[in-house]
Amino acid sequence: MIKKTFLIASLGVITLFASCNQSATTANPTEKTAAANVITQNLKDKDGNAIQLIFDNNKDEVTINYKNETSVLKSQKAASGMWYKNDSYELRGKGNDLTLAKGDQIIYEHADEIVEIVAKSNNGDVLNMTFNNTAGTVKAYLNGGEQIDLEEQKAASGIWYKNDHYELLGKGDHYQLLKDGKTVFSN
């Protein structure tokens, strides 16, 4: 009888530990998801003024750190882009382009530096490129085809952007687009 009682008690303890361990394991993905929904963005305007934005998508709010002042703004329903506000501040924008107003006065503006270039080869091919110099990206279109998204790489000189299949190299007004190591555009 003692062996049977000991066995039942042991099974109860094992079940208790297993359920506690399962609860702890279940909690971790939630914590990771919550952390993934908090995004910090640091931007500078054209005059070098820095702003830090901490978007907490779990709470539908953004914390703004600007000129040694911190403020929390609540999400508002925007027709397009983003809109946050509180009693003192209002933040509006789309992507990295944004304005921060205090009352009726705009106190901070940020816009990505965008440069558009069209390059033509001797055989009539056209490469349209939209560079986002702030984000370090380029969207390229060869002969009006599909969008090719590339990220900036550290180049010895000139430019170098790439993704898994494409590379864009350039210096001055000369550009070369490679797909899987083969040149598909050169001017």
DSSP result, 73-127? EEE---SSSEEEE-SSEEEEEETTEEEEEETTEEEEEE---EEEEEEE-TTS-EE
Chain segment 10-49, per-residue pLDDT in tens? 444 444 344 444 444 444 444 555 667 899 988 888 888 9
Domain(s) labelled CATH 2.40.128.200 in the chain stretch across 38-110
Which strands, in side-by-side order, build the sheet including 69-75?
38-44, 50-56, 61-66, 69-75, 82-85, 89-94, 97-102, 105-110
Predicted confidence at residue 33, as pLDDT, reads 56
* 114-186: CATH architecture: Beta Barrel (2.40)
Predicted confidence at residue 15, as pLDDT, reads 41
Chain segment 144-169, per-residue pLDDT in tens? 999 999 999 999 999 999 999 999 99
Between CA 96 and CA 78 the distance in angstroms is 16
Contact 24, 31 (CB under 8 A): no
pTM: 0.60
Percentage of the residues of the chain whose pLDDT score is greater than 90: 68
Predicted confidence at residue 134, as pLDDT, reads 86
Backbone angles phi, psi at 126, to 5 degrees: -125, 130
Residue reference for tokens 């924008």: 93
* pLDDT at residue 113 is higher than 80: yes
Quick one: pLDDT band at residue 3, thresholds 50, 70, 90? very low
Predicted confidence at residue 181, as pLDDT, reads 96
CATH class of 38-110: mainly beta
